[in-house]
Structure 1
Amino acid sequence: MQNSPTFILVHGAFANSFSFAPLQAELAIRGHRSAAVDLPGHGFEATFPAAYQAPQDLEALAAEPGNIKGVTLADNVARVVQVLERAKRNGPTILVAHSRGGITATAVANARPELIDRIVYVSAWCPVDLDVGDYYTQPEMANVDAGAFAATLIGNPAELGLLRTNFRTADPAALASFKRAFAADLTDDEFRTFLNTFQPDENLDVGTSADRAQSATWGRIPKTYVRLTGDASLPPAVQDRMIREADTLTPDNPFDVRTLEGSHLRWLVHPDSAAELLANLATH
């Protein structure tokens, strides 16, 4: 397996390496190595205050410090680079990013393109013409429902130095909003199970214009964008816009565009099609 690629998997906001367990199982069955990365402050480095448990104490939770405070995009990049350097000893690497993980993957590709043999965005942020925050002001994001995050935000992000969300809410309206945004095509049990893998805290740094895709580095890596047709949190129109912008930036190295049916999270809960797609990329 020396020349077989290793998939390096980068999670999205409030998520962790646990999200990829079903996908990794399917990749392993197909004979492929993979390593899921916990970005700094995620996974077993995350903070789960006692006030987050049941019964919840939301007032106390709003003041509890979190380990992810002060974590930067540069810290995320350093973590992924470290994993890529180790994996590269065993052969090619394919960097796979989901959702907010695409910001980190893009910055990694800008910094160390020689470590990546292919980069794959699965409905992931690939900022090219705008900073990530500015995409949210564009028409393509106009119908995204951010109500659940607004309703379940805990504390003041400026004071805490992080974003804190109460994913353990029992508010039916907030749960329904989360499900519409991320998992409309999952059962309620599948949705709640996934929601319970989320951590309450996320860092604030989403990068600057310097962290957008750079043609001289990121632009020389073969790249695939996997569109998710039912994604309501990062709609297909936004995905397609980033693909167009990237192809304009690097016309001699355009995205290889693939499409999967389903919501933002379905491919992680029912990963067979995604694993087959990735396995195909590994052998071509």
Structure 2
Amino acid sequence: MTYSDINQMNTTTANTARLLITCEDRPGIVQAVSSFLYHQGANITALDQYATEAQGGRYFMRVEFELEHLQSRKDTLIQTFSANVAERYNMQWRLAFVNELKKVGILVSKVDHALLELLWRHSRGGLPCEITKVVSNHEDLREAVENFGIPFEVVPVNKENKREAYAQIDELMQGNDLLVLARYMQILDEAFVERWEMKIINIHHSFLPAFVGANPYKQAHEKGVKLIGATAHYVTADLDQGPIIEQDVERVNHDFTVEQLRELGQDVERNVLARAVKWHLEDRIIVDGNKTVVFQ
């Protein structure tokens, strides 16, 4: 995305905001939120809601609205909503302003399919964010990344320097709102994950917990699998156990070679990861414990 594209986006979305809410379900929530926005002079352009039970469950809401002179009214809007609505319903909530582009850092190793999908979509305006830099533990993808005009840094990681390496990566990524693991083939340091709680998205094949380790597609071929797929999730200290954002599968059969399985699997991976990142950038995801509510 060029500077002019970002500038145009900031101009056209300066009055757009998104409100995300989680609370215990009870009567009057929709009326309270919509009335508040009405009396502020806002126009609701999208409203999605979900309740876990017909009565007494957990309630989730995403509201997108337009409000004239929003930029000069942000602080007042936040304070007024907190006092008049959020406190009354004991809400967990956040207000996101669409023209404030989220900053994204990417971690990658040697395999490029997920990375290049993100960079290509971003360059075409399909990912509303600023990609600040790509960090890798190898030099291999420097030229591919720098061709998109994005800084590329190498931080080698091994058993001996892991703590120091992740401290360096943490420093390099400061200021970002989200980190994306685009096939980054390292297990993150636990302290690093804690510092970026629910701000790291990972992608992996959906054979897990089966076919762990090297050559999962070779293992899958040997077992004659009939479905392959991918899972995008937030990263937690428990390896590959974080809240799932998006998944997809493709049906295969005995005719598929290992290479065909890998090629199809990588197609699924790149698309699943791109969708998960896009939904995060568009404030469509609410994390609820070890699950997510995704308003599409």
- Do these two structures clear the TM 0.5 threshold for a shared fold by scoring above it? no
- Quickly name the TM-score band, shorter chain normalised: 0.3 to 0.5
Of structures 1 and 2, the one with the larger relative CO (CA 8 A, separation 6+) is: 1
Query: Which structure shows the bigger proportion of residues in strand conformation?
Result: 2
Query: Which structure shows the bigger proportion of residues in helix conformation?
Result: 1
What is the TM-score normalised by the length of structure 1? 0.37
Name the larger-Rg structure.
Answer: 2
